[in-house]
Amino acid sequence: MTFVRPARRVLIAAASLSALLVAAACGGGGGGGAAPEGGGQSPAAADFSKQGDIEFWTGKDTSGNLPKLIAKFNESHPNGKVTLHELPDEADQQRQQMIQNTQIKNPKMAVLNVDVVWTAEFAANGYVEALPPDQFPTDGMLKATIDSATYFNKLYAYPWRSNGGLLFYRKDLLDKYSLEVPTTFDEMKAACDKITAGENNPKLACFAGQYNKYEGLTAGGVIVGDDGKPNVATPEATKGLQTLTDWFKDGYIPKAAITWTEEEGRKAFQDGELVFHRNWPYVYAFAAKTDGSSKVNGKFDVAPLPGITQPGVSSLGGANLGIAKNAENKGTAVDFLKFMASEESEKSDTLATANAPSLEALYSDPDVLKKFPYTPTLLESIQTAKPRPKAVQYGDVTLAIQDAAYGALQGQTAPDAALQQLQTKLQTLIK
């Protein structure tokens, strides 16, 4: 793991429930131990030589760059072509469609864009193949990305994109009122009070992250103790969730944000409706557009996430590329994974999309730094990020967290009661 094991403290990452919990250590099956549930496919069991046409299943591409990369691969790969199969925006729906097509043994579904939190589930249930180590070296890749694609010491997906949460903020407004970038929620509240009083703009809200009842509300991971057991019903966690609930009640987070995913928040910040915004680095490319679509171009900057009482820590995000168990032409899939994870392709993807690469060298690449000067901050966010646990029953785990968080944010359940209920539920799901 790449994150620091702190003493008990509340962390703010995705401004979600789990990101507000007390961090002591990360859990799940990181390596070693008993054999994974459901087995995992041995590299020798799969035929990684067969060539032919395949489909790449991934969430909707909003950058327009992915078809360009696929076209470049197809031009140099006469033995099999890749077709882009776009899935819905929301991660929950992507995961569901991938599992459904695994169950019906769809041979066309070959390469999967695997969210880092799905690795254990997909590996243990045999949805993806274990990758042969001799064909998939990981030299030069960020340690966090390698760990996110590994289950019981086997690589089940090839690291492609990493991710760390960032605080986007209106630099012009902070400068106007002689304010420093906040490192805690109290500092952020004080800054917002001064700015909103001076601006007198009813459309300008203080802060928002992702709060809809979906995977984004889980970002930050199930926090467990050193013994690997759930440890969420604590005074520190209650304080964190209470803070978030109060911010909704007092209007520092706009009420409309209860239905926001990444895109709704991104658009609100881009339209000049937020002073501070927690999101992933892809937002930078949109907010910096000069075509008139962004009202904050040249007016914003990026900083590390704030915490409740001290600087925060992000949840570890990202996506890796796996080969579906039922894929017919796994040889083409192998070639495509290697192409997408090459330095040339990752650099092209980073420059076009602002997504975080898996290759560490690109974080000091002159071209990347020139276009995205916040890159060192992003690297620090990833290196100190808290990974979510490798839970085989991840679908049930994320739903439990979403239920607890959403109920508290809507005022239906008191934060302490929500965490007690979540603790009980997680004890049945994480062994």
pLDDT in tens, 229-261: 777 777 877 887 888 889 999 999 999 998 888
Considering the four listed CATH numbers 3.40.50.1370, 3.60.60.10, 3.40.30.110, 3.40.190.10, the one that applies to the domain covering 43-163+316-372 is 3.40.190.10
CA 289 vs. chain centroid, Å, equals 23
d(CA 379, CA 369): 12
Could you tell me if 338 and 134 are in contact, meaning their C-beta atoms sit under 8 angstroms apart? no
Query: What per-residue confidence (pLDDT) applies to 25?
Result: 24
Could you tell me if 271 and 297 are in contact, meaning their C-beta atoms sit under 8 angstroms apart? no
State the sign of the Cα–Cα–Cα–Cα dihedral 247, 251, 254, 256.
Answer: positive
Q: Which pLDDT tens digits describe the chain residue by residue (431 residues)?
A: 222 222 222 333 333 443 443 232 222 333 333 344 444 444 456 899 999 999 999 998 888 899 999 999 999 999 999 999 999 988 889 999 999 999 999 999 999 999 998 999 999 999 999 999 999 999 999 999 999 999 999 999 999 999 999 999 999 999 999 999 999 999 999 999 999 999 989 999 999 998 876 655 554 434 555 566 777 777 877 887 888 889 999 999 999 998 888 999 999 999 999 999 999 999 999 999 999 999 999 999 999 999 888 888 888 889 999 999 999 999 999 999 999 999 999 999 999 999 999 999 999 999 999 999 999 999 999 999 887 767 677 778 777 877 887 788 888 888 888 888 888 888 887 76
Q: Which residue in 92, 121, 122, 120 sits closest to 109, CA to CA?
A: 122
Please give the sequence-ordered ranges of beta strands (E in DSSP) within 99-225, or none if there are none: 109-115, 150-151, 154-155, 158-164, 166-170, 205-208
Query: What per-residue confidence (pLDDT) applies to 150?
Result: 95
Are domains 18-28+166-314+388-429 and 43-163+316-372 of this chain identical in fold? yes
Residues 6+ apart with CB under 8 A from 359: 140, 141, 142, 341, 343, 346
d(CA 206, CA 396): 33
Domain edges within the chain: 18-28+166-314+388-429, 43-163+316-372
CATH superfamily, with its number, for domain 18-28+166-314+388-429: Periplasmic binding protein-like II (3.40.190.10)
Lookup: tokens for 43: 């590299």
d(CA 327, CA 111): 8
Lookup: tokens for 205: 């809200």
